[in-house]
Every structure is written in structure tokens, then in C-alpha cells.
Amino acid sequence: MKVEAKPKELAVEKKTTTGADVFIRSLVDADVDTVFGYPGGAVLPIYDALYRANAPFQHILCRHEQGLIHAAEGYARVTGKPGVVIATSGPGATNLITGITDAMMDSLPVVIFTGQVGTGVIGTDAFQEADIIGITTPITKYNYQVTDLKQLPRIVKEAFHIASTGRPGPVVVDIPKNISQEITVDEFDTAFHLPGYQPTVKPNPLQIRKLADALSRSERPLLLAGAGVLFADAAKELKVFAEKYQLPVTTTLLGLGSFPGTNELSLGMAGMHGTYTANMAIYECDLLINIGARFDDRLTGAIKHFAPNAKVAHIDIDPAEIGKNIKTKIPVVGDAKEALKQLLDVNAKITNHDEWLQSLNSKKEDYPLWYDRSEELISPQWLIEQVYEVSNGEAIVTTDVGQHQMWAAQFYKFDSPDKWVTSGGLGTMGFGFPAAIGAQLGRPDELVVSIVGDGGFQMTLQELSVIKERNLPVKVIIINNEALGMVRQWQEKFYEERYSESLLTENPDFIKLAESYGVKGVRVDKEENVPRVLEDVFSYDGPVVVDCRVVKRECVFPMVAPGAGNHEMIGVTK
């Protein structure tokens, strides 16, 4: 898919070079292989340059800018490379806001180029003008408005650097139309200097030694792995470390896959819908080693009950996360991989904590994840288990937010990293399907399964055009309970069953809908048909939408009720 090309091979004649040509060349210089974009007035010069340049990257035209940004996020999540987006000024740019915020919350490297009205009319409320710099300042790692063409190549280079290093995040580059139209003959200096941006990668050895020392004294140690492990490509080191010291491991929602879910040291996910064992391990441990997680409130529950007996160590590349929510005894600023390598080099005393492991193992046995298996109708949890079985646990899974997301997190045992693409921090409906498009483009040879709800799917389903157009073999599994399931669940449990606006009684016929886009559609509503349907769907060479009718009243358990501590889970057993 990726074509090797040097900038000079681009069909751009020097004497007619425009700012847009310079921009396209900058993307090539940044090794971009896929761009998610949508044309419009302010980016017409860029799209013209793209047309003329025969650029060595593919351009994916999603059908809504929200689709672009989520696809770019999915691409970034599974490849580790920055996702690239181009949108026009005004509404094009503002349609990206949800996705930019999502990328900021989940630390995804995305570089977004927005068109802007000409510099001469900025500030006059010109047609399709929006102050995208002002709007995106709080939701980006950094943003730029290009006011001088000479700076454009340097800015593009900086944008990719900032987005993909340190704690990754979204960077917006706003390009006024006159800049991309400007004729230029200049050679550009792309050297950059960011004196205020020097992420600490190598941790302080003294802190590592302190951590190793604490580990050698601990009787009930616990590892908490977050997405930082994945961004640092440190899953291998984490496994070696955990096994060497026999440390039980729990993960955050976004950290799933950083440690093999089927490993005997794995306790599963912690937090609001985490496993009982993982949450009790946090409650009971005497040393909690957080690697690359940010102690989000959905993980911690009530802070006063969070790890009350533990000395907390926190390894994070972003120093501002350390001590933000949880008091931390041993702060370690640095990259997870570097920290784990150093920890392995230190050779701390290996202590025996068999008793601790045994108590956790018996909790695992006594209080496993459970659900009521319906006799005939499809239980959503059982369905996810089937998806897991039929895909051999090897699929890339994307989701929205809500019940289907939690069931996927609970019942799809991710054994390898970078296969789990979900909207964690922001909890964005409509994320999963376009994210699957980006994931499939980033890893074309893998099975990509988008598990979505019937509510969320309807927020971005127009991207069916893209999977048809590109023949992307994405498998969309709609967990259809004719409801906004998690809203319905909270209304059932905390609002005395007043189902205010959460029941979707007028859903479209998803089969006909898929077919109208030229995409294969399948419905399954009986348990007995599920394995065969899934086998057919996963082996089909092309996109499929599967409308799975599931038991409508199912709730996600176990659960930490809002305001409660992690040790006060409800629905731990039947």
C-alpha cells in the first residue's frame, strides 16, 4: 500500500509551485501513506494540487468529517503512526471537534489540516470562517495557523513530531486559502527548534531503584497497565517483568491487550465494569505499580476507597498525570518501555507472594464474569464470546461507548497489543465504525470487527459508502437491543425504570440499509444460528453488516455504582 517515493519524483514543476504543492510535498516527506479528507472551498487549492501531484498516498473520502477523524484515530491506534486528516474551513473543521477531543482524551497521534479563509478576511466573519485555532486550543496538544508560506514545511514537520512523540495527541494546522494558492519558488528550511518541548523518555535511575526496592518489600504487589504501555510498544517487556516477579496484572479499558488476557497472572480489566478480582486486588494490594494509566474516575471509583492500603508508584511519560488524581509515593517520569527495561536490569529481590496470588486465583474462580444465558434469544455477552471463539481471539475489535463496549472489553480476551480500538476517555458514540475503516486501512491483512450498538451505529453509518467503495472487509456487528443500552441500564438501576428517551423503537431495517449501500447485510436472532453466521461472515471477502438481535433487558455487571468504592461492586454474582 505504501509507495516509496522521494519528494523530487513528484510531478510538480518548480516554477508553478504553489503553497498547496509545498503542503503535499511536506506530507510525502512525513512518510504519510493514508490521508482521510473531505474537500471544500478553502481547501480547493490543496485538492487541486493533490489531483495534479499523483501523490504516493491514498486519499480516503469519508462521508462526514466526523468519519474522517475517527478513521484517522483508528488508523493511528493500530499502526502507531499519526493519522492524517484534511478538512475545509468552517463547518468542515467544526465537524471534527468530537474526534479531536476524543484523540486528546485517549492520547492518539493525529495531525489535522484545516482550510481557512484567506488571511485578508480572517476576523471578518467571512463565508465558512470559524476560529478553529480558538476552538481547538483546549482540545489539542498544539495547534498552528500558517501565516507565512515559508513556515509551512517546518510547521508540518513539527506537527508530526509533536503529535507522535512524548504523550501522543492531536495537532491542528490551519492553512488559509491564500497561503495554499501562493506561487512560490523558494527553497524551504525545515529545521525546527522546540525548546519548550522535550519529553522525558529515560526515567531517573534513582526512582527506578526506589520502585525496585518497594517491590522487593511488597507482600501484595499489583501491576496496573494502561495505554501508555501500548504507545511505548512495551507489551513484551511488561510480560517479562510480570512473569519474572510473578506480579498479578490488571489493565484499564484502554490498556487491554498490553498484557495477555489469557495469561494466568491476568486479572482482567479494573474499574466500573471491571472484574471483581481486579477491583479487590486494587483495594487489597500494598504496592500498586501504575504503568501508563491516568487514574481516570471510571477506573478509580470513589477516590477515598482507591487502593487504600497501597504505596502507589506511577510510571508516566506525562509528568502532569502523576499525582493528578491519586497521591503517588514513587513517581517515575519516562517511557514505559524504558522504565520496564531499567526495572528488569535492576534485578530486585524476587519475593515470594504465593499467598497473595492464591487468594486472587480463588477470587477469580469464585467470582468470574457471569451472565444469564438466554435459552433461545441471543445473550449479548454470549455473542461476544462467540465472536471471540470464531475469530480465534485474533481480530482487531473496534467499539463505540456503552454496553456493547463493556461486554467486548469483558469477554473478548485480548492477547496481543494494538488490537483494541475504543473510545475511552470521551466515550464517543459513532466512533467504532469509522475507526474500523481506519484500522482496516492501517492493517489491511487483519480481520477487523466493529462491535457497535444500534444507537451509535446510526451516528456514523454513512461511512458504509467508504467500505463499499474501497471494498474494505470490515465486519460490523450491531448489538441490537433497540435501546441506548447503557442509558437504559442507568435508568433502570438509578432512575426507577423511567426510560426517558432511551428506547429506539423505530430503527431502520439494517439489512436493507446495508444493501442500499451495496454492502452485504445479515440478520441473526436465534442463538443456534450464531456460530454458523459468524463463520460465514468472517470468511466472507468483503464488508458485512450483521444485525444481531439480542436480549433487550441485559445489563452490564458487575458494576461499581457511581460514588461507590471499587470494593463495593454490585452484581458480582447472579
Partner 1 sequence: MKRIITATVQNRSGVLNRVTGMMVKRQFNIESISVGPSETEGISKMTFVVEVSDDQKLEQLTKQLNKQIDVLKVTDITDKAIVARELALIKVGSSSQNRAEIQGVITPFRASVIDVSKDSLIIQVTGNPEKIDALIDLLRPYGIKELTRTGVTAFQRGRQPENVQEMNALIF
Stretch that binds partner 1, among 13-21, 137-145, 452-460, 479-487 (CB under 8 A): 137-145
Q: How far is the CB of 313 from partner 1 (least distance, A)?
A: 17
Q: Alpha-carbon distance 532 to 322, whole Å?
A: 48
Q: Which three cell numbers stand for residue 335?
A: 517511557
Of the candidate residues 85, 87, 111, 133, the single one contacting partner 1 (CB under 8 A): 133
Distance between CA 156 and CA 77 in Å, rounded? 21
Cβ at position 173, least distance to partner 1 in Å? 13
Rule CB under 8 A: say whether 155 interacts with partner 1: no
- Give the side-chain half-sphere CA count within 13 A for 127: 4
Q: What is the DSSP string of 114-164?
A: EEE--TTTTTS--TT---HHHHHGGGSSEEEE--SGGGHHHHHHHHHHHHH
Minimum Å gap between C-beta 138 and partner 1 is 5
> Active-site residues: which are they?
65, 127-128, 177, 486
Is 347 near partner 1 (CB under 8 A)? no
Cα–Cα distance between 498 and 511 in angstroms, integer?
31
What residues from 76 to 95 belong to the interface with partner 1 (CB under 8 A)?
Answer: none
Name the grid cell of 442: 492501517
Task: Determine if 134 is a binding residue for partner 1 (CB under 8 A).
Answer: yes
Residues 240-279 binding partner 1 (CB under 8 A) are none
Contact yes or no for 110/170 (Cβ under 8 A): yes
Say whether residue 191 binds partner 1 (CB under 8 A): no
Asked if 294 touches partner 1 (CB under 8 A), the answer is: no
Task: Tell me the closest approach of the beta carbon of residue 324 to partner 1, in angstroms.
Answer: 6
Q: Which stretch binds partner 1 (CB under 8 A): 74-82, 132-140, 432-440, 531-539?
A: 132-140
Q: Which of 3, 183, 303, 320 touches partner 1 (CB under 8 A)? A: 320
Q: Does 172 bind partner 1 (CB under 8 A)?
A: no
Q: Which three cell numbers stand for residue 105?
A: 482524551
Compare residues 302 and 344 and give the one whose CB is closer to partner 1. 302
162 counts as binding partner 1 under rule CB under 8 A? yes
Say how many residues touch partner 1, by CB under 8 A. Answer: 21
* Smallest distance from partner 1 to CB 464, Å: 37
Q: Which residue from 2, 14, 244, 327 is in contact with partner 1, where contact means CB under 8 A?
A: 327
Shortest distance, CB of residue 145 to partner 1, whole angstroms?
7
Per CB under 8 A, the segment of 9-17, 70-78, 130-138, 468-476 that binds partner 1 is 130-138
- The C-alpha R_g of the chain, in whole angstroms, comes to 24
- The verdict on 195 binding partner 1 (CB under 8 A) reads yes
Given a contact cutoff of 8 angstroms between Cβ atoms, the answer to whether 460 and 434 are in contact is: yes
Q: Which stretch binds partner 1 (CB under 8 A): 15-23, 29-37, 323-331, 502-510?
A: 323-331
Q: How far is the CB of 54 from partner 1 (least distance, A)?
A: 35
**Of 19-27, 91-99, 314-322, 360-368: span binding partner 1 (CB under 8 A):** 314-322
Cβ atoms of 269 and 263 within 8 Å: the answer is no
196 binds partner 1 (CB under 8 A): yes
What type of residue sits at position 395? A
Query: Which residues does residue 396 pair with via DSSP β-bridges, in sequence order?
Result: 448
Count CB neighbours of 426 within 10 A. Answer: 17
Residue 200 lies near partner 1 (rule: CB under 8 A): no
Please tell me whether residue 563 binds partner 1 under the rule CB under 8 A: no
Three-class SS of residue 570?
strand
Answer for which of 188, 192, 197, 367 binds partner 1 (CB under 8 A) is 197
Among 16, 54, 137, 358, binds partner 1 (CB under 8 A): 137
Q: What is the DSSP letter of 317?
A: S
Q: Is the dihedral of CA 130, 135, 141, 144 positive or negative?
A: positive
Residue 303 within binding range of partner 1, rule CB under 8 A: no
- Cβ proximity to partner 1: between 71 and 307 the closer is 307
Q: Is 142 in the site for partner 1 (CB under 8 A)?
A: yes
DSSP readout, 345-389?
Answer: HH-PPPPP-HHHHHHHHHHHHHS-------SSSBPHHHHHHHHHH
The amino acid that residue 172 corresponds to is V
| Residue 404: its H or E element | helix 403-411
Is 151 one of the binding residues for partner 1 (CB under 8 A)?
Answer: no
370: how many CB neighbours lie within 10 A of its CB? 14
Query: Nearest approach, Cβ of 235 to partner 1 (angstroms)?
Result: 26
Considering the complex, state which of residue 141 and residue 404 has its C-beta at the smaller distance from partner 1. 141
Residue 147 or residue 216: which is nearer to partner 1 going by CB? 147
Q: How far is the CB of 423 from partner 1 (least distance, A)?
A: 20
Q: What angle do CA 265, 266, 271 make, to 5 degrees?
A: 140
| In the block, residue with C-alpha cell 474500523 | 436
- Angstrom distance (rounded) from CA 87 to CA 41: 10
Cα 306 to the center of its chain, rounded Å: 25
Fill in the DSSP letter of residue 36: E
What minimum distance in Å lies between the beta carbon of 194 and partner 1?
Answer: 7
| Environment class of 318 (CB within 10 Å of its CB; exposed 0-12, middle 13-18, buried 19+) | middle
DSSP 82: P
Work out the angle between the directed axes of helices 235-245 and 336-346 (0-180°, nearest 10). 30
Among 6, 11, 15, 138, binds partner 1 (CB under 8 A): 138
Q: Give the binding site for partner 1 (CB under 8 A).
A: 133-134, 137-138, 141-143, 145, 147, 162, 194-197, 318-320, 322-324, 327
